[in-house]
Amino acid sequence: MRLHVADHPLVAHKLTVLRNKDTASPTFRLLVDELVTLLAYEATREVHTEPYRITTPVTETVGVKIADPRPLVVPILRAGLGMLEGMTRLLPTAEVGFLGMQRDETTLEAITYANRLPEDLSGRQCFLLDPMLATGGTLVAAIDYLFGLGARDVTAVCLLAAPEGLKVLEAAVGDRVDVKVVVAAVDERLDENAYIVPGLGDAGDRLYGVV
């Protein structure tokens, strides 16, 4: 597993506003969108490309384009939906799948309740979107699910990660270099309720309100 923490003043600034409990949902959604676009720039550094011949106003030349099969962006419902537009803004040719997972608040285990994914992900680069990497259970389950469909190149894009969750993920995927995690920050720890500290609260509730 490879971890990339985005070290940029704009990332730190936007993350600070997101952490503030007084930031309203409309502003929170806007900042998540902007922050994910910055993270997507880092997450797509190794996106597959292929040569592409074009004609400029001056001459012919060979550039590159996103290779087939197209990348697949997979937001984990529901909070991951708030990251989708920021990711596809930078990767507009990607296909989008959906994976519904939630954490059992008693066992803290991830439960899959919905999916809308291609049956075969062989050869596809997959980008998982989940704001919080807390206990790691949800992300491990999601990566296992994608691997079960044939994926072998998975990048998780998260706003925050906890050290405990990163350890769980690393133990699950080992030294596989085809699993990458891109985050805005690694926070201090998890509290007794498995919330990231200092964190930013429940990302889904802050994006969409309490259901």
Catalytic residue among 19, 103, 152, 176: 103
Q: What is the DSSP secondary-structure string of the chain? A: -EEEE---HHHHHHHHHHH-TT--HHHHHHHHHHHHHHHHHHHTTT--EEEEEEE-SS-EEEEEEEPSSPPEEEEEETGGGGGHHHHHHH-TT-EE-EEEEEE-TTT--EEEEEEE--S--TT-EEEEE-SEESSSHHHHHHHHHHHHTT--EEEEEEEEE-HHHHHHHHHHHTT-TTEEEEEEEE-SEE-TTS-EES--S-HHHHHH---
Q: Does 9 belong to an annotated binding site?
A: no
Q: Does 202 belong to an annotated binding site?
A: yes
Indicate if 49 belongs to the active site.
no
Q: Does 15 belong to an annotated binding site?
A: no
CB atoms within 10 A of CB 4: 15
Rounded to 5 degrees, what are φ and ψ at 179? -115, 120
Q: Does 201 belong to an annotated binding site?
A: yes
Catalytic residue among 7, 68, 144, 205: 205
In which residue are the tokens 């590159």 written?
64
Q: Does 134 belong to an annotated binding site?
A: yes
Q: Does 137 belong to an annotated binding site?
A: yes
Q: Does 82 belong to an annotated binding site?
A: no
Q: Does 22 belong to an annotated binding site?
A: no
Indicate if 33 belongs to the active site.
no
Indicate if 107 belongs to the active site.
yes
Catalytic residue among 68, 144, 191, 202: 202
Q: Does 101 belong to an annotated binding site?
A: no
Indicate if 68 belongs to the active site.
no
Catalytic residue among 55, 56, 106, 107: 107
Q: Does 196 belong to an annotated binding site?
A: yes
Q: Mark the binding-site residues for 5-phospho-alpha-D-ribose 1-diphosphate, compressed into ranges.
A: 78, 103, 130-138, 202
Catalytic residues, by residue number, are: 103, 107, 202, 205
Q: Mark the binding-site residues, compressed into ranges.
A: 78, 103, 130-138, 196, 201-203
